[in-house]
Structure 1
Amino acid sequence: MNRRTRLLLAVVCGVAVASVYAGQPVLAPMGRDLGVPADSVGGFVATGQLGYLAGLVLLVPLGDVLDRRRLIAAHLALVAAGTAITAAAPVAWAAFSGLAAAGVFAVVVQTTVAYTASISPPAERGRNLGIVTSGVVIGILGARVIAGVLADLWGWRSIYLTLAILAAVLAVLTLTLLPADARPDRARYGQVLRSFGGLFTRPVFLRRGLIAFFLFASFGTLWSGMALPLAGAPWHLSEARIGLFGIAGLAGALGAARSGRWSDAGHARRVTGIALALLLASWAAIGQLPWSLPLLTLGVLLLDFAVQAVHVSNQHTLTAAYPDRTSTTIGAYMVFYSLGSALGAAATTALFDAAGWTGPTVLGAALALCALAAWAVPDRAGGLDQPGRVVGASPTTR
């Protein structure tokens, strides 16, 4: 697991997740070009996210059945096909089909994370996960900035054409540059699907999953609602200027890339608790949006630092607890991520209409407090806080 491998895997994550989120800044021109009414353009993003959720359940467990290196390459090729269809779409249904396909196979991100965990020495697992998952953050936040620039220069189709080319190139590179995925024992697909559901009864998994649910609901509350007050009085910021807040979020998230090393040292639980406390504190600064942009910037930086630190810590804990089912475990864990993100995105706009920015602020802080409460509740089955030591995992999940 050298520097070149980590960089390649991080880029794979960034490009794949960008295929789901890149359309957010250009929904209006996409709708006009394809004849979709303004009140329905959110369906472009929703289609990709629904496809992603389906892929988490049906495709990610394949990583415990098939060669993950080949699976990553195949899924990248299909992401390239989906984004190419979207770029060339003459009518709305073709664009929706392409976005759905790209969303389904964008779960290559989770296969990549599982692959990273499986080929990493135990003492370096957290460090490698921190670096590779930083690509996800770059893809989510950076895609919004880059998409806006490309759309201004060459139109919205150029975004998806660029993603198609990048995904196709990466599919070739993964086959030629990644280490072999050598595993003597591989499960059957039916077995891993059954174990997928069984994970939701495991105390270690369930607690980390609940933390992720509240964590990403809080994250979604900020990033789905922040543009609304910034575009209105008293700021009246343009879309380009609003997009610049993604740079603050990116800086915060990348600053947490080293959190994996703290987990390697046996401090996963402590890192999670401190980061969740920072998440709660960040909303005190974010709540000042109507009066202070510098405080908002500080809050965004803290929030994204906290989210990335907890996310890395969660994945480190779960891949160490269930080393023989890393793909299935990561896929099941990300279900909490998807549901939490959807909740935050759906609730924040309704609350903003009803109570102004106070509504999303209270919601975001309440969700952070729920995550902190889930972390604080003692786990009767124990947890994983020491490198290589699993407490409370049954022999069938080791």
Structure 2
Amino acid sequence: MTTTRSHTNVGGLSHGLLLLMSAATGLAVAGNYFAQPLLDLIGRELGVEPSQAALTVTAAQAGYALGLILLVPLGDLVERRRLAMSLYAATAVFLLVSALAPNGTVLLASTALTALTSVGAQVVVAFAATVAAPAERGRVVGTVMTGLMLGLLLARTASGALSELGGWRTVYWVNAILMVLMAVLLRVCLPRLGGDGERRSYRGLLLSTVAMFRYEPLLRWRAGIAGLSLASFSVLWTALTFLLVRPPYGWSESAIGLFGLVGAVGALTATVAGRLADRGLVQYVTGAGTVLLAGSWAALAAGAHSLVWLFAGVIVLDLAHQAVLNSSQNVIYALRPEARNRINSAFMTVLFVGGAIGSALASVVWAQGGWTGVCVLGATLSAGTVVLWALERVTVRRAAGKAPETAVHDPAAAVPAE
């Protein structure tokens, strides 16, 4: 399959287009988190047990993981504007199915399909990294990822507010309309941007994506660091609800949803990390981020009985996670411009697997050790990011000190075209 190369100057991004891409990523991922604060309400209306309703969260995680593996690499094969628009339009359709779901089975299936196509957000992230001028890539990626993280954090807040206005289905109706709007705007505003121009089968594309781990050591290191970082992040946001519904807090579900606004403060700092990375400080940003990530759990532990410490811990942890994630993306996007979507697919798959593992561990540890156990778990995962970052620096310095003995192999070339 052949693709058309871009016929536009893609040396930079206008401010308006950057904000559009940031909003688009946030709205795409938000749909995967709307159901979380509404599980009890959905279960009652559809006549399913809370445990069955909770499967929608698992379905969203599984669907998103499959989309990262199966759909995001297509950005290196087909025209990327059309791919992004198609995925956003498909997401809107599946959200409409969720809004009309007559039973739990249909909602479960539509949730999985919504998550599958919502990886259009990752196509937009890689698109932004490709279109951005090299000297501004960190800032651009940081801005787009700020939108993504705000969508993730504020989805629960928006979900609770909209459900009070018109029931839980209102959330899906509103998001479907917004996704249609985003699909149209992306079609109109994004420049044409083709794949890498090589003839490659879909099977070859997927094998090439996996091969990236073999030939790019920095991708392995950075995926591991980011995966542990998101695991720590997920531990917090999974267990936080358990803490806030109990004494001394005893908050309502709507109040807990508003806590996402606190996390949003940390997410807004992603552009700062990006600007520092653009100035050649990417390694310092990562190192500082991993240390702050581990240190934030001391404040969170004190937050068991102090709202001030809890607020501080949440803000620092979110800030640190954004720094680690943005600096790591800045590193991997510079590896192979012609294979950026495949690299992003490989990186993001590990990232979200780490997040899913963190969520699962948080539930188990809470049942056994309460908030103290959760904080020990989060601190341990965060300490792992410090260790991996230190090992990466040692390994890279040793490799730089040796003369290259063999040429670097191309993962794409390692898979024959069909």
TM-score (norm 1): 0.95
Query: What do the CA deviations read for 1:265-320 (whole angstroms, capped 9, x no partner)?
Result: 11111100001111111100111122101100000000001111111111111010
> How big is the shift at 1:336?
1.4
Q: Is 1:310 paired with 2:324?
A: yes
Whether 1:132 and 2:150 are equivalent positions in the alignment is no
- For residues 208 and 117 of structure 1, the distance between their equivalents in structure 2, rounded to whole angstroms, comes to 17
Aligned partner letter, 1:100: A
The aligned residue for residue 193 of structure 2 is 181
**Residue 183 of structure 1: CA displacement?**
5.5
Please say if residues 51 and 104 of structure 1, whose CA atoms lie closer than 8 Å, have aligned partners that are also in contact: yes
Provide the secondary structure at the position in 2 that maps to 1:356.
helix
Q: Kindly tell me: are residues 160 and 240 of structure 1, through their superposed partners in 2, closer, same or farther at Cα, counting changes over 3 Å?
A: same
Contact 1:60–1:107 (Cα < 8 Å) also in 2: yes
Equivalent residue number for residue 210 of structure 2: 197
Per the alignment, residue 156 of structure 2 pairs with 144
Query: Which amino acid counterpart does residue 192 of structure 1 have in structure 2?
Result: L
In the TM superposition, 1:337-356 aligns within 5 A as 337-356=351-370
Secondary structure of the equivalent of 1:266?
helix
Q: Tell me the residue number matched to 2:122.
A: 110
1:260 counterpart letter in structure 2: G
- Indicate conservation of the 8 Å contact 1:48/1:103, yes or no: yes
Q: Does 1:53 align with 2:65?
A: yes
Shift >6 Å, 4+ stretches: none
Q: Map of 1:235-384 to 2, 5 A cutoff?
A: 235-378=249-392, 382=396
Note the C-alpha offset of 1:393.
9.0
**Which residue of 1 is the match for residue 17 of structure 2?**
5
Q: Distance in 1 between matches of 2:408 and 2:161?
A: 51
Secondary structure of the 1:320 match is coil
Task: Quote the residue 2:38 is aligned against.
Answer: 26
TM-score when normalising by structure 2: 0.90
The residue type equivalent to 1:254 in the other structure is L
Which position in structure 2 is the counterpart of 1:81?
A: 93
Shift of 1:61: 0.4
Q: Please report how far the alpha carbon of residue 66 of structure 1 lies from its aligned counterpart in structure 2 after TM superposition.
A: 0.6
Distance 1:303 1:229, change over 3 A: same
Q: Which range is displaced more, 271-280 or 198-207?
A: 198-207
Question: Percent identical across equivalent pairs?
Answer: 37
Q: How many residue pairs are counted as aligned between the two chains?
A: 390
Secondary structure of the equivalent of 1:257?
Answer: helix
CA–CA distance in structure 1, aligned partners of residues 160 and 330 of structure 2: 34
Higher radius of gyration, 1 or 2: 2
Return the offset for 1:381.
6.2
Alignment check: 8 A CA contact 1:66 1:186 kept: no
Query: Which amino acid in structure 1 is aligned with residue 176 of structure 2?
Result: A
- State the SS of the aligned residue for 2:48: coil
Task: Map Cα deviations across residues 89-110 of structure 1 (whole Å, 9 max, x no partner).
Answer: 1111111121111010011111
Q: Is the CA contact 2:88–2:180 (under 8 Å) kept in the aligned structure 1?
A: yes
Q: CA RMSD in A?
A: 1.7
> For the residues of structure 1 that align with 2:42 and 2:117, how far apart are their CA atoms?
22
Asked if the contact 2:212–2:411 (Cα under 8 Å) also holds between the matched residues in 1, the reply is no
Counterpart AA for 2:238: S
Report how far residue 75 of structure 1 moved. 0.1
**Once the two structures are superposed, what CA deviation does each residue of 1:194-227 show, in whole Å capped at 9, x if it has no partner?**
2211122231010001101110110010000111
